[in-house]
Amino acid sequence: MTNSNPAIDATAYWTTAKEHGELRSEKIARPGQGEVLVRALYSGISKGTEMVVHNGAVPPRVATRMRAPHQEGEFPGPVKFGYLSVGIVEDGPEEWKGQRVFCLNPHQDLYVVPVESLTKIPDNVPARRAVLTGTVETAINALWEAGPRLGDRVAVVGAGLVGGMVSTLLRSFPLERLQLVDLDPSKQQLASALDVDFVGPDEAAADCDIVFHCSASQKGLERSLQLAGDEGDVIEMSWYANREVTVPLGEDFHARRLSIRASQVGVVARARRHRRTNADRLNLAVSLLADPVFDAFLTGSSPFEDLPAVVKELACGSRDALCHVIEYPAATQFPTDSSNRT
């Protein structure tokens, strides 16, 4: 007697040891009640966090908290990690079949997840751009945390993917001043694409109401505290993993009554936690991606089979990227989404 419901062959990326990853074949069960089978079109590499995982630098004390929603294995490895996946539903409840979806899933060509893990992608959002949903969600949470007000003076320190995202959302706010701050003058190109004022650290204007720190560097945090005005807030969005960082609390930190607040996307910011769910936040994030300006963050693409080599190149710095997109074979069925390759 043959099995009428055979397992499905899938391939996923695993971090197998410190600074080493590989594609592994596996069998996955077909979807059960309330589940769907998703065929991946694209996934994005979240360079900051995924490089920490690649380098085996997740601190043991927060290993449980840092688990991705559909992670398998444990840090430092072997572990299947990632959370920027876009695909199309192949099997499951009838109303979901054929739907383009975003999912906080690792890099894998086929996967089965509960329906509640999916975020529908609006028709006006290209599938390739939708890999940014998770990063836009991070920026939304930071803005909910900070609560910018009419006429505020705001600085974003660090013009990487997260800092750029925060700046992109803030550019539509009625602020008195918004500056994107970075040591690297080449980031001027990104700021111009976003239509945001770009300055170096020495030229940045002080007396800010809010400073978002996104550089993941001690110097960036020091400068953020200097830019904050009296009783101003520094929203710390950098994750330092196992690196030690010295904060200059002995200068004017107390005299000017400054505040440093953590922003982390694992839970909805306290100011909205009782009225918004994680699903609400994701739906808002993907809807904002209708704006073509977000294509500025998609700075490269590679086929799925090249993923292990791409991760190594990103980790050692031989390849630079804001968000590097991984393309799966099924993406060729969507030529309008593939036309923006770089």
Please give the pLDDT value at position 1. 44
Of 44-48, 153-157, 193-197, 280-284, least confident by mean pLDDT is 44-48
Of 23-27, 226-230, 264-268, least confident by mean pLDDT is 264-268
- Model confidence at 41, pLDDT cuts 50, 70, 90, reads very high
Q: What average pLDDT is seen over the chain? A: 94
Question: Residue 339 pLDDT more than 60?
Answer: no
Task: Give the residue with greater pLDDT, 3 vs 333.
Answer: 333
- Cβ 248 vs Cβ 223: under 8 Å: no
Question: Residue 7 pLDDT more than 50?
Answer: yes
Name the nearest CA neighbour of 153 among 226, 206, 209, 203: 209
Tens-digit pLDDT profile for residues 84-119: 999 999 999 999 999 999 999 999 999 999 999 999
Please give the pLDDT value at position 111. 98
Containing 160, the helix (H) or strand (E) segment is none
**What's the mean pLDDT in 35-48?**
96
Question: Residue 337 pLDDT more than 60?
Answer: no
How many CB atoms sit inside 10 A of residue 340's CB?
14
Q: Collapse the DSSP code of 46 into the 3-class scheme (helix H, G, I; strand E, B; otherwise coil) and give the result.
A: coil
CA gap 211, 182 in Å, rounded: 13
Please give the domain boundaries of the chain with CATH numbers for all domains: 8-134+276-338 (3.90.180.10), 148-262 (3.40.50.720)
Query: Does pTM top 0.95 for this prediction?
Result: no
Question: Residue 322 pLDDT more than 60?
Answer: yes
Going from the C-alpha of 113 to that of each of 42, 132, 285, the distances in angstroms are: 17, 20, 20
231: left (phi over 0), alpha (psi -120 to 50) or beta: left
Question: Residue 36 pLDDT more than 80?
Answer: yes
Tens-digit pLDDT profile for residues 230-244: 999 999 999 898 888
Please give the pLDDT value at position 5. 73
Tens-digit pLDDT profile for residues 134-187: 999 999 999 999 999 999 999 999 999 999 999 999 999 999 999 999 999 999
Please give the pLDDT value at position 13. 98
Task: Give the residue with greater pLDDT, 248 vs 284.
Answer: 284
Please give the pLDDT value at position 241. 85
Question: Residue 132 pLDDT more than 50?
Answer: yes
